[in-house]
Amino acid sequence: MKTTHLYLITLFIPFAVLLSSAPAQDYAKWSLPDGAIERLGKGKITGNIAFSPDSTRLAVGSAIGIWIYDVRPAKEKELDLLIGHTDSISSVAFSPDGTTLASASWDGTVRLWDVVTGQHKITLSAHADGVYSVAYAPDGKSLATGSRDKTARFWDAQTGEHKNTLSGHTDIIDAIAYAPDGDTIATGSWDKTVRFWDAQTGKHKTTLTGHTGYVYSVAYSPNGKTIATASGADQGIWLWDAHTGKHITTLKGHTGGIHCVVYSPDDKTIATGSSDKTVRLWDSQTGEHKGTLKGHIGGIRSVVYSPDGKTLATGSGDGTVRLWDTQTRERKTAFSGYTRWITAIAYSPDGNTLASSNANGVIQCRETHTGAHKITQVWRTHTDFVSSIAYSSDGEMLATGSHDKTVRLWDTQTGKHITTLRGHTGPIYAVVYSADGKTLATGSRDETVRLWDTQTGQQKATLEGHINFVTSLAFSPNSRTLASASWDRTVRLWDTQAGKHITTFPEHKEPVKSVVYSPDGKTVATGGFDNIVQLWDASTGKRVATLSGHTGYIASLAYSHDGTLIAAGSADKTVRLWDVRTKTHLVTFSGHTEIVASIAFSPDDTTLATGSVDGTILLWKIR
């Protein structure tokens, strides 16, 4: 998670309105990768948020790119999505004249974008690892960046030329800020220190020590006399004399780690955001607590004042960005659609609904028959991460498995909770219905598989034998056999009637992450941390083929319903399709920026849905 807050000068040249290439409601089709027909969700918020110098635009860093919003009163809407980085965005900053937007990414680069056209102008590449923070000098001539490689770097903002490297920190540099006069740069690091550097020579000036945890954010007061620093472990904001480096005071009140701090443009208020889900406002002169902004249901990752001082924007792990009136402290508007992590996806048997779960314990159901994919139901299902979902064969129930060690059954028509299945002593990693609808199987970190009667909710059997996590389950089409994959590097087949172990496939070289039966029941496909898909004869247990090509572990597998295709989603961020009969590779879909955690063919096999840790679902046209 990245939070960096920059001092924005209030003297600027107003700039042209950023153009969008499509109506706001069409953003699901913006900047799609080749082969994709739609994107569901905006990704997870991974970076900070930044106002344009004229206070009319807001940039939000996400796992898939930079979202640009019009934030003028009564005109709030999405304007653009800037795509090009190959990993999550960690930090964004507008140039002082408002013509350029800089974006830093975990992919190790910084990109500069033309604000009016949205076109990529130049890429800054020199860091040896992910870039966590970026800031413009007050005169706009230079850029400073902080990186996971433990260095900060200076760049010419016009040419992209690398000018200097600042070395001294012993851990990630997560925050960077120029002093208002442009003479000094402050860097905050996971080494628990803040360092001051001469912005011209790069020479180290002094080091601020005292924090007991990672320093996530640094902010200069507009008059340049004070610097505020935030740490996750301290639960306090430290104020320092910016010239002497002397600690002045600590602002206490948050009950969780503090990830962001910013001064109001008039220098009267300090705003801080915390994992306790609140934003606190402090008198910058006295340190007195002035008020608390509540409403987010997730930790605060970013706070920033508009340069005109009228609005405070907050970004949260709950998937929303909120705008607050700084005078009334009332919420003005909110931008939603961000998701922390898509953990599982499933089509209803009739194909009319696509359900997805995420790391916040939320289930979303989208209608598919109109092609609009509007969200029709939202359920807050569990108290922890939802790892797996499955429809019953008649589509009337949805099962959800969670890290809270329970499985819940839901009525898909009414959205009402039917019952909760308890018995596992560890997080649930897999849930699957038998084809005849009579049995639900669940796999857990507790190394067991449990079978449940879907009508009564009673446990029918506990299948023991694995010696590590059970990661994936699959019923044979006739419901008589269950395959279980495990971190113990094995796949086991079980007789579901007798509750007995049938056979174990030869040991895999690495943990097995996914298992699935072919529609005809003759083949079992497995994928895991050896980066390959293996096909096994379901009757003999002999390996019949190996499908290779992925460069990361196999996180998800699916057969098409007609049995002609097999798809694999991987930690290499891609999805590969193979012809089942010839075992030849057909196509690779690239577009996600993180692990492809779940995949599902639509019942008519025309569409492949892929859900990713990047917080989005991509729909790909197959036929």
User: CB 342: neighbour CB atoms within 10 A?
Assistant: 31
Per-residue pLDDT band for 323 (boundaries 50, 70, 90) equals: very high
Are 103 and 82 in contact by the 8 Å Cβ rule? The answer is: yes
Q: Give the pLDDT score at 371.
A: 78
Q: Considering the chain, what percentage of its residues have pLDDT values greater than 90? A: 91
- Tell me how far apart the 2 most distant CA atoms of the chain are, in Å: 77
> SS3 for 38-75, per residue?
EEECCCCEEEEEEECCCCCEEEEEECCCEEEEECCCCC
User: From CA 179, how far away is CA 208, in angstroms rounded?
Assistant: 15
User: From CA 64, how far away is CA 54, in angstroms rounded?
Assistant: 26
Per-residue pLDDT band for 106 (boundaries 50, 70, 90) equals: very high
Answer whether residue 384 shows pLDDT above 80.
Answer: yes
Torsion angle defined by CA atoms of residues 72, 76, 80 and 81, in that order, rounded to the nearest 10 degrees: 120
User: From CA 155, how far away is CA 528, in angstroms rounded?
Assistant: 42
Are 273 and 294 in contact by the 8 Å Cβ rule? The answer is: no
- 328 CB burial (10 A radius; 0-12, 13-18, 19+): exposed
Average pLDDT estimate for 107-116: 97
- 454: nearest Cα among 442, 464, 462, 445: 442
User: From CA 578, how far away is CA 542, in angstroms rounded?
Assistant: 20
Per-residue pLDDT band for 379 (boundaries 50, 70, 90) equals: confident
Q: Give the pLDDT score at 401.
A: 96
Average pLDDT estimate for 111-139: 97
Are 401 and 428 in contact by the 8 Å Cβ rule? The answer is: yes
Kind plus residue range of the DSSP H or E element containing 335 = strand 331-335
Per-residue pLDDT band for 13 (boundaries 50, 70, 90) equals: very low
Least confident of 10-19, 377-386, 468-477: 10-19
- What domains can you pick out in the chain, each with its CATH number? 40-335 (2.130.10.10), 342-504 (2.130.10.10)
Answer whether residue 418 shows pLDDT above 60.
Answer: yes
Q: Considering the chain, what percentage of its residues have pLDDT values greater than 70? A: 96
User: CB 548: neighbour CB atoms within 10 A?
Assistant: 12
DSSP class of residue 507?
A: P
User: From CA 326, how far away is CA 423, in angstroms rounded?
Assistant: 50
Average pLDDT estimate for 506-513: 90
Torsion angle defined by CA atoms of residues 133, 228, 303 and 67, in that order, rounded to the nearest 10 degrees: -20
Are 98 and 12 in contact by the 8 Å Cβ rule? The answer is: yes
- 414 CB burial (10 A radius; 0-12, 13-18, 19+): exposed
DSSP class of residue 622?
A: -
Answer whether residue 22 shows pLDDT above 90.
Answer: no
The pLDDT tens digits for 190-239 are: 999 999 999 999 999 999 999 999 999 999 999 999 999 999 888 999 99
Q: Give the pLDDT score at 369.
A: 83
Starting at the edge strand found earlier in the chain, the sheet holding 342-347 runs 342-347, 353-358, 362-367, 375-380
- 612: nearest Cα among 544, 552, 535: 552
Tokens found for residue 62: 């996400």
Total length of the chain? 623
Answer whether residue 26 shows pLDDT above 90.
Answer: no
Average pLDDT estimate for 484-498: 96
User: From CA 64, how far away is CA 190, in angstroms rounded?
Assistant: 25
| pTM confidence score | 0.91
Average pLDDT estimate for 360-368: 91
Residues 6+ apart with CB under 8 A from 441: 430, 431, 432, 433, 434, 449, 450, 451, 452, 473, 475, 482, 496
Q: Give the pLDDT score at 220.
A: 98
Q: Give the pLDDT score at 9.
A: 28
Answer whether residue 8 shows pLDDT above 60.
Answer: no
Average pLDDT estimate for 529-533: 97
Average pLDDT estimate for 336-343: 92
DSSP class of residue 183?
A: S
Answer whether residue 15 shows pLDDT above 80.
Answer: no
- 203 CB burial (10 A radius; 0-12, 13-18, 19+): exposed
Answer whether residue 552 shows pLDDT above 60.
Answer: yes
Q: How many CA atoms lie within 13 A of 121 on its CB side?
A: 17
Answer whether residue 10 shows pLDDT above 90.
Answer: no
The pLDDT tens digits for 300-314 are: 999 999 999 999 999
Phi-psi map region of 395: left, alpha, beta (phi>0 left; psi -120 to 50 alpha): left
- 11 CB burial (10 A radius; 0-12, 13-18, 19+): exposed
Answer whether residue 20 shows pLDDT above 70.
Answer: no
CA distance to 360, 443, 514, 567, 583, per residue, from 534 (Å): 32, 21, 11, 12, 11
CA distance to 55, 194, 322, 328, per residue, from 311 (Å): 9, 28, 10, 10
Main-chain dihedrals φ then ψ at residue 508, nearest 5 degrees: -75, 160
CA 420 to chain centre: 28
Are 257 and 274 in contact by the 8 Å Cβ rule? The answer is: yes
Tokens found for residue 279: 């934003």
User: From CA 592, how far away is CA 614, in angstroms rounded?
Assistant: 7
Strand partners, 513: none
Are 381 and 408 in contact by the 8 Å Cβ rule? The answer is: yes
The pLDDT tens digits for 438-451 are: 999 999 999 999 99
Per-residue pLDDT band for 332 (boundaries 50, 70, 90) equals: very high
Answer whether residue 511 shows pLDDT above 90.
Answer: yes
> SS3 for 576-621, per residue?
EEEECCCCCEEEEEECCCCCEEEEEECCCCCEEEEEECCCCEEEEE
Q: Give the pLDDT score at 383.
A: 83
The per-residue pLDDT of the chain, averaged, comes to 93
User: From CA 430, how far away is CA 474, in angstroms rounded?
Assistant: 9
CA distance to 372, 443, 608, per residue, from 604 (Å): 17, 28, 10
Least confident of 62-71, 379-388, 513-522: 379-388
